[in-house]
Structure 1
Amino acid sequence: MRYVPVLVSVSLFSALALNAAPVSAADPAPEIKRDAAVPAQPVGEVRTLRQIPEACARLEGAFTGQAAQPYKFAVVRTSPNCQPRARFVDAAKAQPSVAGGWLFNDLIRVSNAACTQQQAVVRIWRKPAAIAPPTLDAQGKSRLYLQEEKEKAAASKLAAVPMFAASMTVEGKACGG
């Protein structure tokens, strides 16, 4: 499986403290409640962690068995024909937080089958946007006109779009030599 460049914040694994504490107590309760992935993920097996249809994206990852980069994580486009209704943004740049209007959407924990004390932890944030459908014209149709939309874009008056951001860390003790 080919990995596309990761569009989200993935810290340099060499800088990760693999003895990090478990999921931060500072994390708010996620919107989606789930258990850790069962069964544990074997090294080299690529798994889809979550699909986000409105962003035409899926999150996938695999344990590598390498100490320098124990987990490869990627955001992959689901289909070239998919028309996204939300954007996936880089978590490092977006700095998602409750104070910034983001909602803590999901917390995904994946255990390493070859090293049970190690797990990949993915945090997904969602920033909703109040989107109103276009007003109806005299014929009862909602229409967008290219020139009007270009003018709005030039004036930076386009409607907000929902956004998603994800960050991944590897937690627990390093295994192997």
Structure 2
Amino acid sequence: MKMRGGMRSIPLLALLSLAAGAQAPAAAQPEIQRPPGTAQAVGAVHTVRQIPEACVRIEGRFTGQADAPYAMQLVRTDARCQPRAVMREATRVTPGEDGWRLNDRIRIPSAACPGQQAVVEVWRRPVEQPLARDGQGQVRVYLGEARQQADAGKLASLPAFAVDMRVQGTPCR
């Protein structure tokens, strides 16, 4: 709708949603949006997510035990894989601080207990890595220069990931 002076009318609902989004914490919405996963049976090992930069796959399974209903582990994808990112302990990460962003929230429902689900959060801390290009427009890393930087303690920091898991919902008996 056109108004005087060339200004456009913005619906009140849109303004309210913008204001609510500005007040919400940065970690509330993950960078990757996905629907809940497929319901998993007790004891069925499944891949929750792969993090190729860190050469890691997150595996999980429902245990059927009341005290620890879901178990999760990090598995190296390939012995020859060279990680371009590091994995950090989730307990040592302060979400939303020091550059940590909520990258992904994965919900895995239990097939045996429909009211219960595992929620896996993947946190990511990106690192700006300026890449100098040579005269041919290529980024090149020379072994001698890299060794000198390593010896001098001037290696660039790597991006990092952390994984946290919790179980939500009512436990089944």
Greater relative contact order (CA < 8 Å, ≥ 6 in sequence) = 1
TM value normalised by structure 2:
0.76
Could you state the TM-score of these two structures normalised by the residue count of structure 1? Answer: 0.74
Q: Is the 8 A contact 1:136 1:143 kept in 2?
A: no
Following TM superposition, by how much is the alpha carbon of 1:55 offset from its aligned partner in structure 2, in angstroms? 1.0
1:165 alignment counterpart: 162
Q: CA deviation at 1:132?
A: 2.7
Q: What's the CA shift string for 1:76-111, capped at 9, x where partnerless?
A: 111111111111111112x14223211110000111
Superposed, which structure 2 residues align to 1:10-159 within 5 Å? Answer: 27-38=27-38, 40-93=39-92, 95-133=93-131, 136=134, 142-146=140-144, 148-159=145-156
1:16-75 per-position Cα deviation (integer Å, ceiling 9, x unaligned): xxxxxxxxx86421010001112x110000110111111111111000001121111011
Shift of 1:165: 0.6
How much has 1:151 moved relative to structure 2?
4.7
Unaligned runs of 5+ in 2: 1-23
Q: How far, CA to CA, are the matches of 2:44 and 2:166 in structure 1?
A: 18
CA distance in 2, matches of 1:143, 1:136: 10
Following the alignment from structure 2 to structure 1, what is the Cα–Cα distance between the partners of residues 50 and 94? Answer: 19
Paired letter, 1:59: I
Offset at 1:155?
4.2
Q: Structure 1 unaligned segments of length 5 or more: list them.
A: 1-24
Q: Distance in 1 between matches of 2:139 and 2:29?
A: 41
Q: Is the 8 A contact 2:131 2:139 kept in 1?
A: no
Match of 2:163, as an amino acid? Answer: A
Shift of 1:142: 2.3
- Distance in 2 between the 1:135 and 1:167 partners? 37
Letter in 2 for 1:173: T
Note the aligned Cα RMSD (angstroms): 2.3
Q: What fraction of aligned residue pairs are identical, expressed as a percent? A: 46
Q: Which has the larger radius of gyration?
A: 2
SS in 1 for 2:150: helix
Q: What SS does the aligned partner of 1:168 have?
A: strand
